[in-house]
């Protein structure tokens, strides 16, 4: 009788110990990660935002626009005012151009960080505003993707002579 109770007790213990697995379920999941190349934005040598040369007007401000979607020679428009443009052969004009590089085939966004900047010559200033880009988004091509930047320059009547310059910043991000 003691032997029957001992066997019954061992059997019950075995059911309790292993019986819980009868209701268990298992699964698995993958762990993943994607590594992309460091993104870079590089200004193309000699392709700054260039408005060209002018003789200041005498009756109010002159607004000059550089269109980033046009070839250099067709990119400049005098929107208003009476400043006189000087020859392109000496005073080149055209949009700034940047190359966006990183993981080929990845999407990116592109923007100008400032809404306007002052360009200076000694103590004199002019304003560049209304920046526009040839494309605010795209896909990185083999060898990089080109994005051009234009904007508007305001030349005051009687603007002081000088070579004016200033810096604007751009940002590209993966999307």
Per-residue model confidence as pLDDT tens digits over 5-26: 545 455 555 555 555 566 899 9
Distance (Å, whole) CA 144 – CA 167: 23
pLDDT in tens, 53-71: 999 999 889 999 999 999 9
pLDDT above 90 covers a percentage of the chain that reads 81
Q: What is the mean pLDDT of the chain?
A: 90
Residue 21 φ then ψ, to 5°? -70, -20
User: pTM value?
Assistant: 0.82
List of residues 6+ apart from 56 with CB closer than 8 A: 62, 83, 155, 156, 157, 158, 159
- Nearest by Cα to 94 from 151, 155, 144: 151
């Amino acid at each position: 009788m003691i032997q029957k109770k001992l066997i019954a007790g061992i059997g019950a213990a075995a059911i309790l110990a292993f019986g819980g697995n009868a209701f268990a379920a298992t699964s698995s999941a993958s762990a993943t990660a994607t590594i992309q190349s460091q993104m870079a934005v590089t200004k193309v040598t000699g392709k700054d935002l260039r408005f060209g040369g002018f003789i200041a007007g005498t009756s109010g401000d002159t607004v000059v626009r550089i269109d980033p979607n046009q070839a250099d020679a067709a990119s400049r428009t005098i929107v208003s005012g009476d400043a006189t443009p000087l020859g392109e052969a000496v005073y080149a004009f055209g949009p700034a151009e940047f190359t966006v590089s990183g993981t080929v085939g990845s999407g990116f966004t592109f923007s100008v960080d400032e809404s306007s900047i002052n360009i200076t010559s000694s103590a004199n200033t002019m304003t560049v505003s209304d920046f526009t880009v040839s494309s605010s988004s795209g896909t990185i091509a083999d060898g990089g993707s080109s994005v051009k930047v234009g904007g508007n320059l305001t030349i005051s009547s009687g603007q002081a002579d000088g070579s004016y310059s200033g810096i604007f910043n751009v940002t590209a991000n993966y999307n």
